[in-house]
């Protein structure tokens, strides 16, 4: 369910918004985590609209601060919306497993298909393609308008799961100069 009221960081919290009831309660901790993203929420005005297992929908109402010299929405604002939506989808999980989101963007390929206009709400929809032990792949589409008929951009994002101790994650490593092993 989409709502017309954006989360700007100055008003409502995403967990209090319409559309976050029943089925979304299990994602409460994930939503709360992303409320601390000052850049995405406060500086750009992105809001979380839907959240699920390996899926998210976020939106942005572009204003004058998002406009480039040609009068269209800046590509960086569109990419930020796509990347934030990926982060929410990749790190969404039930309360008991969402204590420390661990997937970050490793690489992204975005294609801008048509310009977006300021004042027309943009929606990004991220969908998991594959989730492996260390890497994940998501498709993110950015649409203009809630009917999602006008596609603005398409993106594939490769995420990597952070690990606490990267030396341990790779297993024992042999120092080539003196033959010592570490990481056991």
Q: Where are the alpha helices (DSSP H) in 35-165?
A: 75-91
Joined together, the tokens standing for residue 31 give 């939503």
Q: What percent of the chain has pLDDT above 70?
A: 70
Is 7 part of any domain?
Answer: no
Confidence of residue 181 (pLDDT cuts 50, 70, 90): low
The total domain count for the chain is 1
> Which of residues 168 and 11 earns the better pLDDT score?
168
Q: Is residue 177 part of a domain?
A: yes
* Cα dihedral 99, 7, 53, 159 in deg (nearest 10): -70
Give domain status of residue 8, yes or no: no
Predicted confidence (pLDDT) per residue in 124-165, tens digit? 999 999 988 889 999 999 999 878 889 999 999 999 988 755
Is 136 domain-assigned? yes
The string of DSSP codes covering 129-147 is EEE-SSEEEEEEEEEESTT
C-alpha 57/C-alpha 68 separation (Å) is 25
Q: What integer pLDDT is reported at residue 166 of this predicted model?
A: 47
In a domain, 153, yes or no: yes
Q: Provide φ and ψ at 130, rounded to 5°.
A: -150, 140
Residue 25 lies in a domain: yes
Q: Does residue 91 sit within a domain?
A: yes
Helix (H, G, I), strand (E, B) or coil at 52: strand
Written as one string, the DSSP assignment of 153-174 is EEEEEEEEE--S-HHHHT--EE
pLDDT of residue 52 exceeding 50, the answer is yes
Task: Name 161's Cβ contacts closer than 8 Å, sequence gap at least 6.
Answer: 102, 103, 133, 134, 135, 136
Nearest to residue 59, comparing CAs of 130, 110, 8, 107? Answer: 8
| pLDDT category of residue 32 using cuts at 50, 70 and 90 | confident
If residue 29 lies in a helix (H) or strand (E), which one and from where to where?
helix 28-34
Instruction: Look at residue 2 and tell me if it is in a domain.
Output: no
On the 0-12 / 13-18 / 19+ scale of CB atoms within 10 A, 105 is middle
CA distances, 170 to each of 16, 44, 178 (Å): 42, 37, 19
Give residue 105's Cα distance to chain centre.
9
Q: What is the CATH number of the domain that holds 128?
A: 3.10.129.10
Structural domain boundaries enclosing 105: 14-182
d(CA 59, CA 96): 27
């Amino acid at each position: 369910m989409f709502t017309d009221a954006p989360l700007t960081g100055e008003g409502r919290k995403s967990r209090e918004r319409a559309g976050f009831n029943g089925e979304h309660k299990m994602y409460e901790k994930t939503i709360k985590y992303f409320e601390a993203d000052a850049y995405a929420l406060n500086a750009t005005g992105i809001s979380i609209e839907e959240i699920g297992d390996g899926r998210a929908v976020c939106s942005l109402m572009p204003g004058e601060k998002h406009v480039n010299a040609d009068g269209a929405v800046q590509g960086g604002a569109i990419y930020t919306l796509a990347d934030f939506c990926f982060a929410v989808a990749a790190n969404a999980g039930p309360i008991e497993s969402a204590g420390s989101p661990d997937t970050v963007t490793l690489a992204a390929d975005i294609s801008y298909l048509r310009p977006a206009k300021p004042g027309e709400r943009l929606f990004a929809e991220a969908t998991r393609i594959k989730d492996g032990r260390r890497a994940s792949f998501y498709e993110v589409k950015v649409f203009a308008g809630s009917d999602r008929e006008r596609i603005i951009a398409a993106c594939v994002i490769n995420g990597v799961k952070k690990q606490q101790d990267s030396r341990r994650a790779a297993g024992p490593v042999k120092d080539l100069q003196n033959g010592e092993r570490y990481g056991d």
